[in-house]
Amino acid sequence: MSLIKYEDEYIKWVEELKGLIRKSQIKASISVNIEMLKLYWNIGKSISTKTKQEKWGASVVEQLSKDLKSSFPNQQGFSRSNLFSMKKWFEFYSSANIEIEKVQQLVGQIPWGHNVLIVTKAKSIEEAIFYASKTVENNWSRTVLAHQVDLDFYSRSGRAITNFQETLPEPQSELAVETLKDPYKFDFLTLQEKALEKDIEDQLVKHITSFLLELGIGFSFVGRQVPLKIDGRDFFIDLLFYHIKLKCYVVVELKSVEFKAEYAGKMNLYLSAVDDLIKSDNENPSIGLLLCKSKSKVMAEYALRGTTQPIGIAEYEIIKSIPDKIKGELPTIEQIEKELATTMAISHSGRSTKYE
Protein backbone atom coordinates (compact mmCIF):
# COMPACT_ATOMS: atom_id res chain seq x y z
CA MET A 1 0.00 0.00 0.00
CA SER A 2 1.27 3.44 -0.88
CA LEU A 3 1.01 5.92 1.97
CA ILE A 4 3.36 8.57 0.53
CA LYS A 5 0.53 11.06 0.17
CA TYR A 6 -0.51 10.58 3.79
CA GLU A 7 2.88 9.70 5.24
CA ASP A 8 3.12 12.45 7.85
CA GLU A 9 -0.45 12.00 9.03
CA TYR A 10 -0.11 8.23 9.12
CA ILE A 11 3.18 8.29 11.09
CA LYS A 12 1.64 10.69 13.61
CA TRP A 13 -1.37 8.45 13.96
CA VAL A 14 0.69 5.29 14.50
CA GLU A 15 2.73 7.07 17.20
CA GLU A 16 -0.48 8.07 18.97
CA LEU A 17 -1.64 4.47 18.98
CA LYS A 18 1.76 3.31 20.24
CA GLY A 19 1.37 5.74 23.12
CA LEU A 20 -2.03 4.24 23.97
CA ILE A 21 -0.51 0.76 23.91
CA ARG A 22 2.37 1.72 26.19
CA LYS A 23 0.01 3.33 28.70
CA SER A 24 -2.09 0.18 28.62
CA GLN A 25 0.95 -2.01 29.25
CA ILE A 26 1.78 -0.06 32.40
CA LYS A 27 -1.72 -0.44 33.82
CA ALA A 28 -2.23 -4.03 32.68
CA SER A 29 -0.82 -5.50 35.89
CA ILE A 30 -3.66 -3.85 37.83
CA SER A 31 -6.56 -5.03 35.70
CA VAL A 32 -5.57 -6.97 32.61
CA ASN A 33 -8.95 -7.49 30.98
CA ILE A 34 -10.41 -4.04 31.68
CA GLU A 35 -7.33 -2.20 30.49
CA MET A 36 -7.01 -4.38 27.41
CA LEU A 37 -10.65 -3.73 26.49
CA LYS A 38 -10.20 -0.01 27.02
CA LEU A 39 -7.23 -0.18 24.68
CA TYR A 40 -9.19 -2.15 22.09
CA TRP A 41 -12.08 0.30 22.33
CA ASN A 42 -9.78 3.26 21.73
CA ILE A 43 -7.98 1.54 18.86
CA GLY A 44 -11.32 0.60 17.31
CA LYS A 45 -12.52 4.18 17.70
CA SER A 46 -9.34 5.54 16.17
CA ILE A 47 -9.46 3.18 13.19
CA SER A 48 -13.12 4.00 12.61
CA THR A 49 -12.51 7.74 12.78
CA LYS A 50 -9.40 7.72 10.59
CA THR A 51 -10.86 5.54 7.85
CA LYS A 52 -13.89 7.81 7.66
CA GLN A 53 -12.14 11.17 7.91
CA GLU A 54 -9.13 10.34 5.75
CA LYS A 55 -11.08 7.96 3.48
CA TRP A 56 -8.38 5.34 3.79
CA GLY A 57 -9.24 1.92 2.45
CA ALA A 58 -9.18 -1.43 4.23
CA SER A 59 -5.54 -1.94 3.28
CA VAL A 60 -4.49 0.65 5.85
CA VAL A 61 -5.58 -1.75 8.60
CA GLU A 62 -3.31 -4.44 7.21
CA GLN A 63 -0.40 -1.99 7.20
CA LEU A 64 -1.25 -0.89 10.72
CA SER A 65 -1.24 -4.51 11.85
CA LYS A 66 2.28 -4.99 10.49
CA ASP A 67 3.55 -1.82 12.15
CA LEU A 68 2.03 -2.56 15.56
CA LYS A 69 3.24 -6.17 15.58
CA SER A 70 6.71 -4.95 14.63
CA SER A 71 6.76 -2.41 17.47
CA PHE A 72 5.17 -4.76 20.04
CA PRO A 73 6.35 -8.27 19.07
CA ASN A 74 5.55 -9.74 22.49
CA GLN A 75 1.97 -8.47 22.65
CA GLN A 76 -0.85 -10.42 21.06
CA GLY A 77 -3.99 -8.97 19.52
CA PHE A 78 -2.77 -6.81 16.64
CA SER A 79 -3.63 -9.12 13.78
CA ARG A 80 -5.53 -7.68 10.82
CA SER A 81 -8.71 -9.56 11.74
CA ASN A 82 -8.55 -8.47 15.37
CA LEU A 83 -8.07 -4.82 14.44
CA PHE A 84 -11.17 -5.08 12.24
CA SER A 85 -12.99 -6.66 15.20
CA MET A 86 -12.02 -3.66 17.36
CA LYS A 87 -13.41 -1.32 14.72
CA LYS A 88 -16.62 -3.33 14.43
CA TRP A 89 -16.99 -3.52 18.22
CA PHE A 90 -16.71 0.25 18.61
CA GLU A 91 -19.01 1.02 15.67
CA PHE A 92 -21.63 -1.49 16.79
CA TYR A 93 -22.24 0.17 20.15
CA SER A 94 -21.73 3.69 18.81
CA SER A 95 -24.41 3.28 16.17
CA ALA A 96 -27.34 3.99 18.51
CA ASN A 97 -28.34 6.59 21.03
CA ILE A 98 -27.23 4.81 24.21
CA GLU A 99 -25.10 5.68 27.22
CA ILE A 100 -21.68 4.57 26.01
CA GLU A 101 -20.13 4.78 29.48
CA LYS A 102 -22.61 2.26 30.88
CA VAL A 103 -22.05 -0.01 27.90
CA GLN A 104 -18.28 0.21 28.36
CA GLN A 105 -18.63 -0.72 32.04
CA LEU A 106 -20.73 -3.75 31.11
CA VAL A 107 -18.66 -5.10 28.21
CA GLY A 108 -15.48 -4.43 30.18
CA GLN A 109 -16.47 -7.21 32.57
CA ILE A 110 -16.33 -9.98 29.97
CA PRO A 111 -13.40 -11.33 27.93
CA TRP A 112 -12.58 -10.02 24.48
CA GLY A 113 -13.58 -13.27 22.76
CA HIS A 114 -17.04 -13.02 24.30
CA ASN A 115 -17.39 -9.45 23.08
CA VAL A 116 -16.43 -10.36 19.52
CA LEU A 117 -18.88 -13.25 19.50
CA ILE A 118 -21.72 -11.05 20.77
CA VAL A 119 -21.32 -8.21 18.27
CA THR A 120 -20.83 -10.73 15.47
CA LYS A 121 -24.07 -12.60 16.16
CA ALA A 122 -26.38 -10.08 17.86
CA LYS A 123 -28.98 -8.48 15.61
CA SER A 124 -29.44 -5.40 17.80
CA ILE A 125 -27.73 -3.49 20.59
CA GLU A 126 -30.51 -4.58 22.95
CA GLU A 127 -29.76 -8.22 22.20
CA ALA A 128 -26.01 -7.65 22.62
CA ILE A 129 -26.50 -5.96 26.00
CA PHE A 130 -28.77 -8.84 27.05
CA TYR A 131 -26.11 -11.46 26.30
CA ALA A 132 -23.35 -9.38 27.88
CA SER A 133 -25.44 -8.99 31.06
CA LYS A 134 -26.27 -12.70 31.17
CA THR A 135 -22.60 -13.58 30.69
CA VAL A 136 -21.65 -11.44 33.68
CA GLU A 137 -24.55 -12.77 35.77
CA ASN A 138 -23.98 -16.44 34.97
CA ASN A 139 -20.20 -16.41 34.39
CA TRP A 140 -20.68 -18.13 31.02
CA SER A 141 -17.69 -19.47 29.16
CA ARG A 142 -17.48 -18.53 25.48
CA THR A 143 -18.67 -22.02 24.54
CA VAL A 144 -21.79 -21.75 26.68
CA LEU A 145 -22.43 -18.19 25.47
CA ALA A 146 -22.24 -19.35 21.85
CA HIS A 147 -24.65 -22.18 22.64
CA GLN A 148 -27.16 -19.80 24.23
CA VAL A 149 -26.93 -17.42 21.27
CA ASP A 150 -27.43 -20.28 18.82
CA LEU A 151 -30.54 -21.35 20.75
CA ASP A 152 -31.83 -17.74 20.65
CA PHE A 153 -32.08 -17.34 24.42
CA TYR A 154 -32.75 -13.61 23.93
CA SER A 155 -36.00 -14.08 22.01
CA ARG A 156 -37.26 -16.78 24.39
CA SER A 157 -36.49 -15.08 27.71
CA GLY A 158 -39.55 -14.00 29.70
CA ARG A 159 -41.97 -15.22 27.00
CA ALA A 160 -43.90 -17.83 28.98
CA ILE A 161 -47.57 -17.08 29.65
CA THR A 162 -47.91 -16.49 33.38
CA ASN A 163 -50.13 -14.92 36.02
CA PHE A 164 -47.16 -13.88 38.16
CA GLN A 165 -48.03 -10.19 38.19
CA GLU A 166 -51.42 -10.99 39.70
CA THR A 167 -50.27 -13.68 42.15
CA LEU A 168 -46.79 -12.64 43.32
CA PRO A 169 -45.56 -9.49 45.08
CA GLU A 170 -42.92 -7.20 43.60
CA PRO A 171 -40.05 -7.67 42.96
CA GLN A 172 -40.53 -11.46 43.01
CA SER A 173 -43.11 -11.33 40.22
CA GLU A 174 -40.74 -9.48 37.86
CA LEU A 175 -37.87 -11.86 38.57
CA ALA A 176 -40.16 -14.87 38.15
CA VAL A 177 -41.33 -13.62 34.75
CA GLU A 178 -37.72 -13.13 33.62
CA THR A 179 -36.80 -16.59 34.91
CA LEU A 180 -39.14 -18.48 32.58
CA LYS A 181 -38.80 -18.69 28.81
CA ASP A 182 -40.82 -19.99 25.88
CA PRO A 183 -40.18 -22.32 24.22
CA TYR A 184 -37.74 -24.47 26.15
CA LYS A 185 -35.35 -26.28 23.83
CA PHE A 186 -34.28 -29.76 24.85
CA ASP A 187 -31.38 -30.24 22.49
CA PHE A 188 -29.77 -32.91 24.66
CA LEU A 189 -32.51 -35.55 24.45
CA THR A 190 -32.53 -38.62 22.23
CA LEU A 191 -36.27 -39.08 21.79
CA GLN A 192 -38.75 -39.63 19.03
CA GLU A 193 -41.11 -36.79 18.12
CA LYS A 194 -44.06 -38.52 19.84
CA ALA A 195 -42.27 -39.33 23.08
CA LEU A 196 -44.37 -40.18 26.14
CA GLU A 197 -44.22 -37.96 29.23
CA LYS A 198 -42.41 -40.68 31.20
CA ASP A 199 -39.78 -41.00 28.45
CA ILE A 200 -39.17 -37.25 28.49
CA GLU A 201 -38.98 -37.21 32.28
CA ASP A 202 -36.50 -40.12 32.29
CA GLN A 203 -34.27 -38.32 29.79
CA LEU A 204 -34.46 -34.98 31.60
CA VAL A 205 -33.34 -36.56 34.85
CA LYS A 206 -30.63 -38.52 33.04
CA HIS A 207 -29.34 -35.27 31.53
CA ILE A 208 -30.17 -33.11 34.54
CA THR A 209 -27.11 -30.86 34.19
CA SER A 210 -28.08 -29.97 30.62
CA PHE A 211 -31.68 -29.45 31.72
CA LEU A 212 -30.51 -27.06 34.44
CA LEU A 213 -28.53 -25.10 31.87
CA GLU A 214 -31.68 -24.68 29.79
CA LEU A 215 -33.79 -23.76 32.83
CA GLY A 216 -31.30 -21.05 33.73
CA ILE A 217 -29.26 -19.81 36.66
CA GLY A 218 -30.56 -20.44 40.16
CA PHE A 219 -32.37 -23.77 39.69
CA SER A 220 -31.45 -26.73 41.91
CA PHE A 221 -32.90 -30.19 41.38
CA VAL A 222 -34.86 -31.61 44.32
CA GLY A 223 -36.38 -34.77 42.89
CA ARG A 224 -38.71 -36.55 40.47
CA GLN A 225 -42.09 -38.13 41.16
CA VAL A 226 -42.09 -36.37 44.53
CA PRO A 227 -44.99 -37.77 46.60
CA LEU A 228 -47.74 -35.59 48.03
CA LYS A 229 -50.45 -37.04 50.26
CA ILE A 230 -53.62 -34.98 50.02
CA ASP A 231 -56.67 -36.03 52.02
CA GLY A 232 -55.49 -39.62 52.08
CA ARG A 233 -54.77 -39.76 48.33
CA ASP A 234 -51.32 -40.03 46.78
CA PHE A 235 -50.16 -37.60 44.11
CA PHE A 236 -46.74 -37.34 42.47
CA ILE A 237 -45.00 -34.22 41.15
CA ASP A 238 -43.13 -34.89 37.89
CA LEU A 239 -40.11 -32.74 38.76
CA LEU A 240 -39.44 -30.52 41.76
CA PHE A 241 -36.80 -27.77 41.81
CA TYR A 242 -35.75 -25.05 44.21
CA HIS A 243 -34.84 -21.61 42.89
CA ILE A 244 -32.15 -19.95 44.96
CA LYS A 245 -32.78 -16.35 43.84
CA LEU A 246 -36.56 -16.59 44.03
CA LYS A 247 -36.27 -18.52 47.33
CA CYS A 248 -39.10 -20.82 46.39
CA TYR A 249 -39.94 -24.28 45.12
CA VAL A 250 -40.69 -24.72 41.42
CA VAL A 251 -43.08 -27.50 40.44
CA VAL A 252 -42.57 -28.69 36.85
CA GLU A 253 -45.22 -30.81 35.12
CA LEU A 254 -44.53 -32.34 31.70
CA LYS A 255 -47.24 -32.85 29.08
CA SER A 256 -46.44 -34.53 25.78
CA VAL A 257 -49.60 -33.08 24.23
CA GLU A 258 -51.19 -29.67 23.69
CA PHE A 259 -52.06 -27.66 26.81
CA LYS A 260 -55.48 -28.31 28.31
CA ALA A 261 -57.28 -26.07 30.80
CA GLU A 262 -57.54 -28.83 33.42
CA TYR A 263 -53.72 -28.93 33.67
CA ALA A 264 -53.77 -25.52 35.36
CA GLY A 265 -56.29 -26.79 37.90
CA LYS A 266 -54.13 -29.74 38.86
CA MET A 267 -51.05 -27.52 39.08
CA ASN A 268 -53.01 -25.21 41.39
CA LEU A 269 -53.65 -28.22 43.64
CA TYR A 270 -49.98 -29.22 43.67
CA LEU A 271 -48.78 -25.72 44.51
CA SER A 272 -51.21 -25.39 47.40
CA ALA A 273 -50.02 -28.73 48.77
CA VAL A 274 -46.31 -27.88 48.36
CA ASP A 275 -46.80 -24.58 50.17
CA ASP A 276 -48.57 -26.37 53.01
CA LEU A 277 -46.50 -29.55 53.26
CA ILE A 278 -43.00 -28.60 52.11
CA LYS A 279 -42.43 -24.83 52.07
CA SER A 280 -41.10 -23.19 55.22
CA ASP A 281 -42.45 -19.94 56.64
CA ASN A 282 -39.44 -17.91 55.48
CA GLU A 283 -39.68 -19.09 51.86
CA ASN A 284 -41.69 -17.43 49.09
CA PRO A 285 -44.81 -18.99 47.52
CA SER A 286 -44.03 -21.87 45.18
CA ILE A 287 -44.48 -21.39 41.45
CA GLY A 288 -45.53 -23.87 38.80
CA LEU A 289 -44.26 -24.45 35.27
CA LEU A 290 -46.38 -26.44 32.83
CA LEU A 291 -44.23 -27.65 29.93
CA CYS A 292 -46.44 -28.73 27.02
CA LYS A 293 -45.79 -29.90 23.50
CA SER A 294 -47.88 -26.98 22.24
CA LYS A 295 -50.40 -24.47 23.54
CA SER A 296 -53.10 -22.05 22.50
CA LYS A 297 -52.18 -18.64 23.86
CA VAL A 298 -55.84 -17.69 24.34
CA MET A 299 -56.64 -20.98 26.10
CA ALA A 300 -53.62 -20.60 28.38
CA GLU A 301 -54.49 -17.03 29.33
CA TYR A 302 -58.12 -17.97 30.04
CA ALA A 303 -57.04 -20.94 32.15
CA LEU A 304 -54.82 -18.74 34.33
CA ARG A 305 -57.32 -15.92 34.73
CA GLY A 306 -58.54 -15.88 38.32
CA THR A 307 -56.14 -18.64 39.39
CA THR A 308 -54.70 -17.81 42.81
CA GLN A 309 -51.46 -19.79 42.50
CA PRO A 310 -48.51 -18.48 40.39
CA ILE A 311 -48.29 -20.61 37.23
CA GLY A 312 -46.35 -20.32 33.99
CA ILE A 313 -47.17 -22.16 30.77
CA ALA A 314 -44.56 -22.76 28.07
CA GLU A 315 -43.86 -25.07 25.16
CA TYR A 316 -40.83 -27.28 24.70
CA GLU A 317 -38.99 -28.43 21.60
CA ILE A 318 -36.85 -31.53 21.16
CA ILE A 319 -34.06 -30.63 18.74
CA LYS A 320 -30.53 -31.65 17.82
CA SER A 321 -28.08 -33.03 20.36
CA ILE A 322 -26.09 -30.69 22.60
CA PRO A 323 -22.46 -30.32 21.41
CA ASP A 324 -19.99 -32.48 23.33
CA LYS A 325 -17.81 -29.45 24.05
CA ILE A 326 -20.66 -27.92 26.10
CA LYS A 327 -20.75 -30.84 28.52
CA GLY A 328 -17.45 -29.89 30.12
CA GLU A 329 -18.87 -26.47 31.00
CA LEU A 330 -21.82 -27.87 32.97
CA PRO A 331 -21.92 -28.54 36.72
CA THR A 332 -21.68 -32.16 37.85
CA ILE A 333 -24.42 -33.96 39.73
CA GLU A 334 -22.20 -33.85 42.83
CA GLN A 335 -21.91 -30.06 42.57
CA ILE A 336 -25.66 -29.69 42.13
CA GLU A 337 -26.38 -31.94 45.12
CA LYS A 338 -23.86 -30.06 47.26
CA GLU A 339 -25.41 -26.70 46.33
CA LEU A 340 -28.89 -28.04 46.96
CA ALA A 341 -27.94 -29.55 50.31
CA THR A 342 -26.48 -26.23 51.45
CA THR A 343 -29.52 -24.30 50.29
CA MET A 344 -31.96 -26.68 51.96
CA ALA A 345 -29.98 -26.66 55.20
CA ILE A 346 -30.06 -22.87 55.35
CA SER A 347 -33.72 -22.64 54.36
CA HIS A 348 -34.90 -25.29 56.82
CA SER A 349 -32.62 -24.56 59.77
CA GLY A 350 -34.35 -24.11 63.06
CA ARG A 351 -37.54 -25.99 62.17
CA SER A 352 -38.77 -29.54 61.70
CA THR A 353 -39.54 -30.20 58.07
CA LYS A 354 -43.02 -31.37 57.08
CA TYR A 355 -41.68 -33.32 54.13
CA GLU A 356 -39.31 -36.23 54.51
Of 334, 317, 330, 333, which Cα lies nearest the Cα of 206? 333
Q: What per-residue confidence (pLDDT) applies to 355?
A: 35
Q: What per-residue confidence (pLDDT) applies to 285?
A: 93
H/E element, 196: none
Which of 93, 128, 151 delimits the end of a domain? Answer: 151
Which of 151, 184, 217 delimits the end of a domain? Answer: 151
| N-term to C-term CA, the chain | 76
CA angle 25/112/151 to nearest 5° reads 175
The stretches in the chain having pLDDT less than 70 are 1-6, 23, 25-32, 190-195, 319-356
Rounded Cα gap, residues 209 and 205, in angstroms: 8
Give 3-state DSSP helix, strand, coil % of the chain, rounded to 5.
55, 15, 30
Of 305, 73, 332, which Cα lies nearest the Cα of 167? 305
Q: What per-residue confidence (pLDDT) applies to 206?
A: 80
Which of 109, 126, 151 delimits the end of a domain? Answer: 151
Instruction: Give the domain extent around 84.
Output: 7-151
Q: What per-residue confidence (pLDDT) applies to 30?
A: 39
**Do residues 250 and 138 share a domain?**
no
Return the CATH number at 208.
3.40.1350.10
Q: What per-residue confidence (pLDDT) applies to 186?
A: 83
| 3 state DSSP class of 317 | strand
